[in-house]
Amino acid sequence: MTPEVTKRQSKQKKKKPSPMYKLGSKLKDRATGRKEMVWAGITGIGSYVPPKVLTNDDLSKMVDTTDEWIVARTGISERHIAADTVLTSDLAVRAAKKALKSAGKNPEDVDMIIVTSASPDQIWPSTACHVQAKLGAVNASAFDLQAACAGFVYALTVGSQFVETRRAECVLVIGAETISRLVDWTDRGTCVLFGDAAGAVVLERVEFGYGFMASFTGADGTGADLLEVPADDKFIKMNGNEVYKFAARVSLDAATKALKQAGLHREDVDFFVPHQANARITEAAAKRLKLPPEKVVSNIVNYGNTSTASIPLALDELWRSGRLKYGNIVLTVGFGAGLTWGANVIRWAKKS
């Protein structure tokens, strides 16, 4: 090998790292110290429930049940039902307007709309596109995310990453349901559970160290038949006992993994906001997490299971109550058909 060839090879070895190599190093830093990543948090929140209320006494006139039976098994006293002319996107828009007002934003400021729903307006176009049109969010991309009752946790996980990676500045995440239309009102095992509602949050860049500290999502498709709306049917079918055991188990698993990812412990949690599926599931999850009652947020008594809307609805009520303060640690946990589940750890970044 000639000296000239050796010299040329030596120069090649000393070439600077490629831009892609540098990008990989930055991503590695973000995954560990997050020093170069924007922090995403909730800057606005809102919810909406339709005015019509269906009580347990009302249900007792429709199926063989009683108020005592329903409360003892579910913790539910009443639920809200959307009028026949009201679409899921209509409920979503009501909640979205409140969330935007809470964040001091206009529809034109929104870069992206994510709607999660188990009862969309139609198969396609997406409910998110209907929301975009009704809001007048002319600058926003829009899509639906389907993960059943775990949908809002999934949507928060996806939406926050768009802000963190600077792909979007203002993301509107909405959970909305007219799930009562998927209920067989002759089946007392399911008709007592569900109600209609919508909840929305605005995600934006927040102060370093605040907002989304960690998220975890999981799925097990082998349990799909435990909770479903079959293709040849239009009503919810559920194996209640198996779903209960699944929900209690994965609530602990998801919460534990998300907290570990955030570098926190159970005692650091100020508020636990789970999917409002059943009061007994919430109580079992809180017990396994060793969280005292004052840290557990539950409003199922007034709304029933509102699927993807339940977490933002409960979170909005907590915020409006004045109990949720800047810097509080919020743990959300969702679980649902799929089977799907997940958790978010959020350091509350909204001051007023």
State mean pLDDT over 175-195.
97
| CATH code (residue 332) | 3.40.47.10
Q: Do 109 and 244 belong to one domain? A: no
Whether 315 has a pLDDT exceeding 60, the answer reads: yes
Residue 16 resides in a domain: no
State mean pLDDT over 132-159.
98
Q: Contact 310/2 with Cβ under 8 angstroms? A: no
Which segments of 121-210 are extended strands (E)?
141-145, 170-177, 197-206
Q: Do 301 and 199 belong to one domain? A: no
pLDDT of residue 37: 75
Residue type, 112: M
pTM as predicted: 0.90
pLDDT of residue 33: 52
State mean pLDDT over 23-51.
72
Residue 17 resides in a domain: no
State mean pLDDT over 107-116.
98
* pLDDT-wise least confident of 13-27, 89-103, 208-222: 13-27
State mean pLDDT over 37-41.
93
- Please indicate whether residue 2 or residue 255 has the higher confidence score (pLDDT): 255
Contacts of 157 (CB under 8 A, 6+ apart): 215, 217, 342, 344
Q: Contact 302/197 with Cβ under 8 angstroms? A: no
Residue 10 resides in a domain: no
Residues 186-231 pLDDT 10s: 999 999 999 999 999 999 999 999 999 999 999 999 999 999 999 9
State mean pLDDT over 134-157.
98
Q: Which of 296, 253, 257, 256 is nearest to 274 (CA)?
A: 296
Distance CA 155, CA 133 (A): 20
Tokens 């005592």 found at = 68
Residue 12 resides in a domain: no
Domain count, the chain: 2
End residue of a domain, out of 206, 226, 260 = 206
Whether 171 has a pLDDT exceeding 80, the answer reads: yes
Q: Do 199 and 239 belong to one domain? A: no
265 included as an active-site residue: no
Residues 287-301 pLDDT 10s: 999 999 999 999 999
Banded pLDDT at 313 (limits 50, 70, 90): very high
**For the chain, percent of residues with pLDDT exceeding 90:** 89
Contacts of 276 (CB under 8 A, 6+ apart): 282, 298, 299, 300, 303, 304, 305, 306, 310, 311, 313, 314
Structural domain boundaries enclosing 282: 211-347
Candidate list 56, 80, 129, 305, residue with the active-site label = 305
Going by their DSSP bridges, the two strands 78-80 and 141-145 should be labelled as unpaired
Contacts of 93 (CB under 8 A, 6+ apart): 131, 134, 135
Residue 79 resides in a domain: yes
pLDDT of residue 289: 97
Whether 7 has a pLDDT exceeding 90, the answer reads: no
**Side-by-side strand order, sheet with 340-347:** 211-219, 340-347, 329-336, 271-274
Whether 28 has a pLDDT exceeding 90, the answer reads: no
State mean pLDDT over 329-343.
98
Q: How far is CA 100 from CA 62, 237, 352, in A?
A: 39, 36, 13
Which segments of the chain are extended strands (E)?
39-48, 53-55, 78-80, 112-116, 141-145, 170-177, 197-206, 211-219, 227-228, 237-238, 271-274, 329-336, 340-347
Residues in the chain: 352
129 included as an active-site residue: no
Q: Do 229 and 247 belong to one domain? A: yes
Whether 40 has a pLDDT exceeding 60, the answer reads: yes
End residue of a domain, out of 206, 223, 244 = 206
130 included as an active-site residue: no
Candidate list 149, 170, 278, 344, residue with the active-site label = 149
pLDDT of residue 22: 41
End residue of a domain, out of 174, 206, 238 = 206
Banded pLDDT at 25 (limits 50, 70, 90): very low
State mean pLDDT over 76-96.
98
State mean pLDDT over 141-162.
98
